[in-house]
Each structure stands twice: as structure tokens, then as C-alpha cells.
Amino acid sequence: MHVRDRRVKRTQNLLAQALLALIAEKGYDAITIRDITERADIGYATFFRHYRDKDELLRDVADVVINELLEILFGQQPGQEPAAVGQLIFRYVADHSAVVRVLLGSRGPASLVQHVIQRGSENVLRQNKPRPDSPVPAEIAAHHLVASSIALIQWWIEHDMPYSPEHMGDIYRQLIVQPTLTSAFITDPA
Amino acid sequence: MHVRDRRVKRTQNLLAQALLALIAEKGYDAITIRDITERADIGYATFFRHYRDKDELLRDVADVVINELLEILFGQQPGQEPAAVGQLIFRYVADHSAVVRVLLGSRGPASLVQHVIQRGSENVLRQNKPRPDSPVPAEIAAHHLVASSIALIQWWIEHDMPYSPEHMGDIYRQLIVQPTLTSAFITDPA
DNA sequence: TCCTTATGATATACAATATATCATAGTATA
DNA sequence: TATACTATGATATATTGTATATCATAAGGA
């Protein structure tokens, strides 16, 4: 597989850049393929010579970022200090925040989940007293609590609920509630 | 505000039921408004007399579930045992799994995030040894690790990165890595 | 240079959204 | 129960966006 035709590379690059710019401007759903091709200054029909639809283009753009992040997370030799990985992740995100923001910025019905997390977090903050000396801000802890609860529910549902609600309640407490409360909130002695 | 016109109630109910059924059949994106109205046996134009678009109908359906879940989580008197809340959540989800599955079932670009979580989880499982006696299954722990990492990144990005990568690395370790590793995996003594 | 192929411009078929109109049937309320 | 109200169904239509085909031209690879 030699070097691709320069024209193909150029076109796909222009389309990718145009998509990212447009998402930042008006969100993914509102974008038409004509929007993309006009912004990229590319013929409309040319789009379909490269991608079946918008989603396929987005996937192509995302793959680059995904692979780099996975490389950071798991590309290192085993036995290396895993303590620094956290910093590496957030440094990478900071360096590529424009793209990451676009890829994580959910909208449409997906923003429903975001809405739930938002409302849930506010409730958590309202009903818990933050621990003053904690390095974990209460706002982050609340967001973490709700977001990972939803993720856990999501896993359970998508795997057809293989464990009982009681068992899941245990997991939920051990993996999410207990660590979050002890590290960021003042636990109420019942 | 008296009781609404029975016809309105009936129409909106039929539309909601039709939407849920169709999502389960072929996914949200593939559904057209004509699909919904035909399934509901409702005139096409009638849809727009109630909702601006598909998303508005979905939001309407979702609000019911969201409010019930928040009620379970935060509707109780303070000072009550918070240990049982986990069970309550998962019991509720089990009882309403059809709807919850639909609402959490991400689509379009949102499914990109799901894809990343999937790939990330596989890597975590590959590179860590599960603790045999843990009540937390390795598969769940891996999913939790990756999903809540992404959620944390999402919070950071959406709040314009108010803390340094080093600080976020600390939070990440304390809130996510350390609890997950100690409860489900055999920690490698460096 | 010569052959290949990607692109631009254009036309067209098609699907889906969104709105308007009007007769009819179902509802609320006095 | 009679009356005024309004939601609905059926239909037509304008508009927008997708997807594909064709052909001349320009750019690229060997």
C-alpha cells in the first residue's frame, strides 16, 4: 500500500477540518453534507465518493484521537509507574481540547443523559456537606457519583441484567458511593 | 388547570407508545415522523400539533422516567439509611428496563463514546489480573474505570479545564483508579 | 510523456419535514 | 341535552436534504 493519491488526502483533510469547525459552530445534528462541502470548498458529490454519510466522516476523525488516547493509556510497558498516567491523559486532552470537546459534546437525545447528570449532581451537592480539606472538589465528586452510576446502569441493562439488584447495589456502594463519599464529603454517622 | 381534553391525552399517549416500540425495533435515528404516526394510527399532520420534532416527543417520554428516578434517589428523608438506595435504583431499572434501555441507548456520534468505552474496557481486562474473591466482577470494574474516566474528562472540558492536569491526575487516581483497582484487581506492587 | 483517476459542475430522483386548509367528529360546559 | 369549541383526518404543497449518474477537465503517478 503506497502513498495515497495527494488529491484524496487533501479532500479528506478538508472535509475533516470543515466538520470539526462546523460542529463547534452549530452542533453536529444541524450540519448538512452541503454545509460541509461548501465549507471545505469541495464539490457536493465528491463527499459521497469518500464517505457514506456524516457519521462515517466523524468516525474517521474520531479514530485518530481514540487511538492516540489508548496508546497513552495502554501503550506503555507493563511495570511502569501507573501513577503518572492520569496526568498524561489530562495533558493530552488539554493539548487537543478542541477536538475532544467536539467528540464528547453530546447533543440530541444523548444530551438527555447530560441533563440527568446535571440535575442529579445538583441534588448531590445540595444534600451533602463537602469535606473542606479534600483535594477532590465537591462539584467533581458529585458529577462523578451521578455519571458513573448511570454508566453502571447502562452496563447492567446492555448485558441483560446478569446480576440481581441486590448484588448491583453492593457493587454500586463499593465501587462508587463509598469512595466518593469518603474522599470528598463528610460522611453522616447514621 | 383542569383535566385535559381526552383526545389530546389519547393522541400523545399513542405517539409515546409508538415511539418506544419503534426505537426498540430499529433505533431512534431510523425512525421518521410518518413511521410514528402510522404506528400510532394518527394523522401525520397531527404530530406537529403536539410536538415540534421527534426529540421533543422523546424528551416528553423521558421526563417521566427521570423524575421517578430522582425521586427514588433524593426524595427520601435525610438521615435514612443510604445503603439501600443502590438496590432501589437497580430494582426500578429492572422494572422499567424497556424504557430505560431506550433512553440510555445512545446513537449517532454518542455511540462513539460507547465504542471507546468498549475498546478501553477490553484493554483494562487484558492488562489486569482480577481478584478472585471480589464481589465486583472484573468486567464491571473495567467498564466503570473507563466510563468514569471519560465522564471526568467531559466535566473538565465542559468547565474549561479549571484545574491543572496534575491536579486532575490526583483526583482521577483517588476517585477512580485506586478504588477500582483495590476492589476488583490484584494490585501490582511496583 | 501517457495513462489513470479524482474532482467539479450539473441534473435528477427521492425521502422526509413542515405547514395550510377544510370538513367532520369528539368534548367540555352551561 | 343543546351549543360552542377544538382536535383530528385527509389532502395538497412548498421546502430541504440525501443520494446517484454523467461528462468534461485537471491533477497525479509511473
Give domain limits for chain A.
6-104, 110-184
pLDDT digits 0-9 by tens, B116-173 = 888 889 888 988 899 999 999 999 999 999 999 989 988 898 888 999 989 999 999 9
Distance in angstroms, CA of B148 to C1' of C1? 60
With contact defined as beta carbons under 8 Å apart, do A21 and A36 qualify?
no
Enumerate residues 32 to 61 of chain A having a beta carbon within 8 A of any beta carbon in chain B: 55, 58-59
With contact defined as beta carbons under 8 Å apart, do B134 and B126 qualify?
no
CB contact under 8 A, A83 and B173: yes
**d(Cα A138, Cα A129) in Å, to the nearest integer?**
9
CB contact under 8 A, B70 and A123: yes
In this structure, CATH architecture of domain A6-104: Orthogonal Bundle (1.10)
- In this complex, the residue of B97, B163, B174 whose CB is nearest that of residue A183 is B174
- Looking at the predicted structure, is the pLDDT value of residue A2 above 90? no
Number of residues that this document lists for chain B = 190
Q: What is the pLDDT of residue B107?
A: 56
Tell me, what DSSP letter sits at residue A175?
I
- In this complex, the residue of A62, A73, A123 whose CB is nearest that of residue B74 is A123
User: What's the predicted TM-score (pTM) here?
Assistant: 0.78
pLDDT digits 0-9 by tens, B35-55 = 999 999 999 999 999 999 999
User: What string of DSSP letters covers A127-148?
Assistant: HSPBPTT-SS-HHHHHHHHHHH
Number of residues that this document lists for chain A = 190
pLDDT digits 0-9 by tens, A23-78 = 888 888 889 999 999 999 999 999 999 999 999 999 888 887 777 877 776 666 55
Q: Which three cell numbers stand for residue A103?
A: 467528540
**d(Cα B28, Cα B62) in Å, to the nearest integer?**
13
**d(Cα B79, Cα B74) in Å, to the nearest integer?**
12
Q: Which three cell numbers stand for residue A71?
A: 496508546
Selection from B142, B174, B103, B145 nearest residue A148 by Cα: B145
A172: pLDDT confidence band, cut at 50, 70 and 90?
very high
Tell me, what DSSP letter sits at residue B75?
S
Q: Going by C-beta distance under 8 Å and a sequence separation of 6 or more, which residues neighbour residue A92?
A: A68, A69, A72
A7 to chain B, closest Cα gap in Å: 27
Interchain contact B103–A (C-beta under 8 A): yes
Distance in angstroms, CA of A45 to C1' of C12? 13
- Looking at the predicted structure, is the pLDDT value of residue A80 above 60? no
Q: What is the pLDDT of residue B1?
A: 44
- By C-alpha to C1' distance, C6 is nearest to A7
B82: pLDDT confidence band, cut at 50, 70 and 90?
low
Distance in angstroms, CA of B12 to C1' of D5? 20
Q: Going by C-beta distance under 8 Å and a sequence separation of 6 or more, which residues neighbour residue B62?
A: A109, A112, B103
Q: What is the pLDDT of residue B147?
A: 93
